[in-house]
Amino acid sequence: MKDNRILKLSIAGLLVAIGIIIPMISPFKIIIEPASFTLASHVVIFMAMFISPAMAIAVACGTAAGFFFGGFPLVVVFRALSHVIFAGCGAYYLKNTKAPLTPLRLRVFSLIVALVHSVYEVIVCSLFYFGQAIGDLNNFIFSIIILVGVGTIIHSLVDFEITLLLKLPLRKQRTLRELIK
């Protein structure tokens, strides 16, 4: 039991460290404020979701710190901080579901997580740009609804698929087999 806690703590530390580094050094990032897309920035959060809710929340906080340290605009940092919600809820579901995680169920789960992810990022951006949005509804719809909302759904789905590609070989490791759902 103690070894399992130490293993979880070590994995959480590694995932947080990777989550901090990705936005800081990734060459695959696009910033069209308020939208930003950094390839694989959600992978560590999704991986943590397959382990535990507490780890998912900790890693989501770590990735938000990475966006802050990376010098991203404040709206992007708060969007990253909103990941705590989908990460915690998604991890709670994964921990408590009795249904087998078939490929179809994982894709449906990924879509639901992407929708929740998107809604909270749109809310964050709406709060940041509310005063400006009243003057220009077309700009608001394009910037917030299309770029952030739809873009987040696509970005989330892509990062979830990357996570699944990484999760399968990790589950084959004897020490990780029972830890990763």
- For 19-46, the pLDDT digits (tens) are 999 998 888 888 887 888 888 999 999 9
Does residue 178 sit within a domain?
A: no
For residue 45, the enclosing domain spans 2-171
Q: Which residue's entry shows tokens 């308020």?
A: 34
pLDDT at 2: 58
CA–CA gap between residue 49 and residue 29 (Å, rounded): 23
Does residue 180 sit within a domain?
A: no
- Report how far Cα 140 is from the mean position of its chain's Cα atoms: 24
Q: Quick one: how many helices (H) and strands (E) in the chain?
A: 8, 2
The model's pTM is: 0.90
pLDDT at 123: 94
CA–CA gap between residue 22 and residue 17 (Å, rounded): 9
CA–CA gap between residue 15 and residue 42 (Å, rounded): 11
Does residue 181 sit within a domain?
A: no
Query: CB–CB of 58/11 below 8 Å?
Result: no
Q: What is the DSSP letter of 172?
A: T
The closest alpha carbon to 42, from 24, 25, 56, 27, belongs to 56
The closest alpha carbon to 112, from 153, 78, 165, 79, belongs to 153
Overall domain count for the chain: 1
Does residue 29 sit within a domain?
A: yes
pLDDT at 133: 52
Does residue 119 sit within a domain?
A: yes
Does residue 158 sit within a domain?
A: yes
Helix/strand/coil percentages in the chain, nearest 5: 75, 5, 20
The two structure tokens encoding residue 70: 């990376």
Does residue 81 sit within a domain?
A: yes
* Alpha-helical regions (H) of 26-82: 43-49, 53-69, 74-81
Query: CB–CB of 124/152 below 8 Å?
Result: no
Does residue 54 sit within a domain?
A: yes
The list of the chain residues with pLDDT below 70 reads 1-2, 131-135
The closest alpha carbon to 50, from 62, 42, 61, 38, belongs to 42
CATH number at residue 78: 1.10.1760
Query: CB–CB of 124/79 below 8 Å?
Result: yes
pLDDT at 29: 82
Query: CB–CB of 50/180 below 8 Å?
Result: yes
